[in-house]
Amino acid sequence: MSEWLNRVEAEQGGIIKMIKNNDLILVSDMVILREFMEQDWADVHQYASQEIVCQYQIWGPNTEEDSKEFIHDVLEEAKLTPRERYVFAIIYQGKLIGAVEIVMRDFTNNVGEIGYIVNPDYWGKGIATESAKLVITFGFETLNLHRIYATCDPRNIGSSKVLEKIGMTKEGILRENLLMKDGVWRDSLLYSVLKQEWSK
């Protein structure tokens, strides 16, 4: 696999979608997004076990078992037909430093949702922005989606900036739509982008 990835890296220069042994790989000049493998749990655990990473999430910080269960769930969901969830490992300079996903939320109306998480050691480098762009392009061009949306905690300024930077429109706020670990209800900002907007 590593030899093949080196070949892919040499072909960068834009968004490339490749399929190797039925595994999707999305590539840009900055990152490689590949599907997860069982042994990736340790790299996932490096960031998912940190409080700062999951402070605005309903999960975490992860135990080792939590991180292994995440990988197990992702691998099992990838086998489903029709497939609803595509979760990619973010590879930056040869290292797994995060995850980005797109989930089919409405097959009838072709609606998907994206989410992302990056190891805090790599924050501020544009990695979440680049990874989100790749999965949105994948969503529109490959999954034939019409609308893609994302939500984030209003306190999560970094995530809001990513969603605005990639061209999503803030639609409004979902009031108390998530129950957090501490038992407090959380609002969510709602962003979206339409296929015809992305292709401009």
Q: Running DSSP on this structure, what letter comes out for residue 107?
A: T
pLDDT at 13: 40
Short-list 151, 162, 158, 146, CA closest to 190: 151
Looking at residue 199, its pLDDT comes to 73
Structure confidence by residue, pLDDT tens digits, 20-50? 556 789 999 999 999 999 999 999 999 999 9
Q: Look at residue 200 and tell me whether its pLDDT is greater than 60.
A: no
- The pTM of the full predicted model, rounded to 2 decimals, is 0.89
pLDDT level of residue 149 (50, 70, 90 thresholds): very high
Contact at 8 Å (CB) between 88 and 33? yes
Q: How far is CA 79 from the centre of its chain?
A: 18
Residue 23 has a pLDDT of: 76
Percent of all residues in the chain with a pLDDT value above 90, rounded to a whole number: 82
Reduced to 3 states, what is the DSSP secondary structure of residue 36?
coil
* Residue range 57-104, pLDDT digits in tens: 888 899 999 999 999 999 999 999 999 999 999 999 999 999 999 999
The answer to whether residue 7 scores a pLDDT higher than 50 is no
Cα(172)–Cα(197) distance, rounded to whole angstroms? 18
What's the number of CA atoms in the CB half-sphere (13 Å) around residue 37? Answer: 13
Residue 19 confidence (pLDDT): 59
pLDDT (tens digit per residue) in 105-124: 999 999 999 999 999 999 99
- The alpha carbon dihedral of 108, 109, 110, 116 has a sign of negative
Quote the tokens at residue 89.
């490992």
**Token pair for residue 78?**
């990838």
Mean pLDDT taken over the chain = 90
